[in-house]
Each structure stands twice: as structure tokens, then as C-alpha cells.
Structure 1
Amino acid sequence: MKKYIKAFFENEILSYLFFGVATTLVYILTRTSLFFLIPQTLLVVFIANCVAILFAFITNDQIVFQQEWTCWPARLVKFISARLTTLLLDLVLAYLLVDAFPQLIGQFVHQDPTRINAIATLISQVLVIVLNYILSKVFVFQNTKKSS
């Protein structure tokens, strides 16, 4: 069993997906927990996003892409820049597919706004996940790997 777990985490894409799900859970737990303490939605969402981005950076840096700990501040700045880029993509797609041109998706779901939003979210998240991986692989974590 230990062999299979190790093999799973040595596969970069599987490891990336696993920690992506973990990051989502960190975000949800942080957001819901903080909301009980601080009932201010935008502040809680901002803090939860910051916590999730830091968690994602550490797991991607040290486990997924196995970087040396040196030069981590420069990678963190690149990582945040990449995440802001995909956030912008998410916002643009939401605006285009849900607000500006809902009929593009709506024609397939009887113009139901809930379904339009759900499908737009799915499309957006698939693109965001793929782009985050590419940006991380090519732009952020291109430094030295840990010696095994």
C-alpha cells in the first residue's frame, strides 16, 4: 500500500490534482470557519483565498514540483501573479458566459440561469485548473528540484 501511495505522489499530475482538491477543502473550511467569527463576507472570502493560495504554493513548491527551498519568495510572487491571471480569466468567462451572452449555453438548458451558471463554472474551472498547472510548470516552478 505504501508503495502505491508513494507512486501516486511521485506522479506530478496526480499529485497536483490531489493538492488542488486539498486546497479547495482548505478554502472551504477556512471560509466557513471564519464566517462564524467574522460575519463579513468579502473580508472572509479574501482571507480564505489568501490562506488557500499560501497552502497551494507550499504544497506545489515542496511536494508537487519538489523545489529547493532557496529563492522561494520569487516563486511566491510568480505564483500569486499566475493565480491572479487565472482569477481574471474566471471573471471574464463568468461575465461573458453568464451575464453578457447567456444564450450561448442557455440554448442547451432552456435558458435556466442556474444551469447556465453551473455549466459556465465547470467550463471555467477546467480551463483554470489546466492553465494553473501550465503556468506553475512553465513560469513558476522552473527552478532547481530537490536532490533525491
Structure 2
Amino acid sequence: MRFYRQFRAYLVRRKVWEVTAYLFFGILTTLVNVLIFSVAFRLLELPWPTSNSLSWLVSVIFAFFTNKLWVFHSGASGTRSTLWTLLKFMLVRILSYGLDMLTMWLIIDAMHGNELIAKLITQVLVVAVNYIFSKLFVFADSNSG
């Protein structure tokens, strides 16, 4: 635990803690997303749009809590404040869901690409877009360090 505190303090001093934490949890969120997509698409044999929507929903729930608690350290407390933050978070994620679905469609249906490769490519785009909007809009009033 001591190493973690020292490492975090170092990153905070360098003003890169937030982006480092976001990338770490973004990678975990991507793993959740890809895992759920793969299970739904490959094992359950659901169509890719259904698999993608299911993976999006699960990963958005995971991302909300990790972003609120560990990345942006949102000061939102209480039901009303948390619900407002969740609403903003969901609005941004719905926009990135559109980007996700469009990119998946382009790679899979229009270009006849591999579904898993399409999923990985879209996740890189989505993580970048979500960070920008989360920082500027969703958790803009947070006390992150």
C-alpha cells in the first residue's frame, strides 16, 4: 500500500494521475466490453448489434462507478447529485455508443472485417472520446488530483 501511495503522489505531482487512472480503468472497461461481446457473439451466437449493445450496457455501468470513484473523484454525493452525474454520463455514453455502432457497422458490414478486430478498434476510439467528454462535461466539477 505504501508503494501505491508513493506512486500516486508522484503521478499527482506530475499532473498525470487522472489520465493514468482513466487509461487503467479504460483498459479494464475495454476488457469487460470485449469479454461480454465475445461471449454474446461467439458462445450465445447473438447478432453482432445485440452483442455490442449488451457489452456496451455492462461496460457503461462498470465505467460509471470506476470513473466516479477512482478517476475523477467526483464530489457528487447524495441521490440528486449522483443522478445528475449519471444522467450526464449516460448522455455522453449514448453518443459514443452511436460512434461505436457506426464504426462496427463500417468495419463488419461495409468492409466485411472481423468482428473482434472491429470491437478492438472501436474501443480505442470510444475510450478517447469518452475521456474528453467525461473530463469536460460529466465530471468537470470534480476534485481530482
TM-score normalized by the length of structure 2 = 0.67
Poorly superposed stretches of 4+, deviation over 3 Å: 5-10, 24-33, 39-51, 113-117, 120-123
- How many matched pairs? 131
Q: In 2 relative to 1, CA 16–28 (structure 1 residues): closer, same or farther, beyond 3 Å? A: same
Contact 1:27 1:52 in 2 (8 A): yes
**Given the superposition, is the C-alpha separation of residues 50 and 18 from structure 1 closer, same or farther in structure 2, using an over 3 Å criterion?**
same
Aligned to 2:127: 129
Percent identity over the alignment is 33
Give TM-score scaled by structure 1 length.
0.66
- Residues 8, 15 of structure 1: 8 Å contact kept: no
Q: Secondary structure at the match of 2:123?
A: helix
Unpaired runs of at least 5, structure 1: 103-112
Pairing 1:53-92 to 2, within 5 Å after superposition: 53-70=60-77, 71-92=81-102
CA shift, 1:143, in A, is 2.0
Is the CA contact (8 Å cut-off) linking 1:75 and 1:141 kept in structure 2?
A: yes
Name the aligned partner's letter for residue 135 of structure 1. Answer: F
Q: Is contact 1:31-1:44 (8 Å) kept?
A: yes
Pairing of 1:1-148 with structure 2 (within 5 A): 1-2=3-4, 3-8=6-11, 11-27=17-33, 49-70=56-77, 71-100=81-110, 102=111, 113-114=112-113, 118=117, 120-145=118-143
The verdict on how the C-alpha distance between 1:15 and 1:32 changes in structure 2, with shifts beyond 3 A counting, is same
User: What CA distance in whole angstroms lies between the structure 1 residues aligned with 2:97 and 2:109?
Assistant: 17
Contact kept in structure 2, 1:89 and 1:128, CA below 8 Å: yes
Residue 22 to residue 126, structure 1, CA distance change in 2 (3 Å):
closer
Corresponding letter in the other structure for 1:66: H
Higher relative contact order (CA 8 A, sep 6+): 2
CA distance in 1, matches of 2:62, 2:56: 10
Aligned counterparts of 2:120 and 2:30: Cα–Cα separation in 1: 15
Deviation track 1:41-90 (CA, whole Å, cap 9, x = no partner) reads 58987666444322211111122111113311111011111111111111
CA distance, structure 2, for counterparts of residue 29 and residue 128 of structure 1: 16
